[in-house]
Amino acid sequence: MRFRHADTIWSDYPELTAGVLRAAGVGPAAEVGPRVTEFTARAAARLAGASEGTFPEVLAWRRAFSRMGLKPTQYRCASESLLRRLRREGGLPRIHPVVDLCNAISAAYAVPVAVLDADRIVGPLLEVRYARGDEHCTTFGGGTEYPALGEVTFVDSAGRAHARRWTHRQSGHSAVGEHTRRILVVAEAMHDDGAELMPGLLKTLAEELATHWPADPATAVLTPSAPEFGFGG
């Protein structure tokens, strides 16, 4: 299977920096608590000096959401939502070791990091593109939503949308759960230093996954000239 951003996305958002990772062999039996604590502490230390709404990583996504016709304080990118929750509640929810680790790293870097169950994606292509109006998305509650025409979403070859409003909210269909063994992780930055940040973020993700699981991660930074990444299956 292949992952890519559509050419129109690269054209309309030239500031985008995207990083991807694939890994197999993950599972629910791993103790990631100390590492989650360390990464959330990094985020909390940064929040002690300023609110997440002033971070350049967050402001860049707010500008992107405004360009999509969305009110950025109503629809927040995933990393802003995590940081906001951390600032208000002092911690992040524990869901699954893989998700907990990725959420903590997302908060530490202030960049959206989506982790999907690769076996719940229908190939041969998962593409970040504008919705055509015939896609369907399964919510975490089990309901069905239909992305609006022109909404940016992750769409597989069966027409299933695996996200709503780009980095705002993932689908429940491909959420990591007890039976997840193969994952696809996508990190996306919009701020000026995104290209410098992304290799380090991917290295951190890969090292943490390899430490806690026999995962053997593979990573890549995507560009308009090299927009595709294979993730097996």
pTM over 0.85: yes
Q: What is the pLDDT of residues 52-68, one digit of tens each?
A: 999 999 999 999 999 99
Q: Are strands 125-130 and 2-5 parallel, antiparallel or unpaired?
A: parallel
Numbers of helices and strands, H then E, in the chain: 6, 12
In 10 A of CB 135, how many CB atoms? 22
Q: State the Rg of the chain over Cα.
A: 16
Residue 153 β-bridge partners: 129
Q: What is the pLDDT of residues 197-221, one digit of tens each?
A: 999 999 999 999 999 999 999 999 9
Domains and CATH numbers, the chain: 2-223 (3.50.40.10)
Q: What is the pLDDT of residue 158?
A: 98
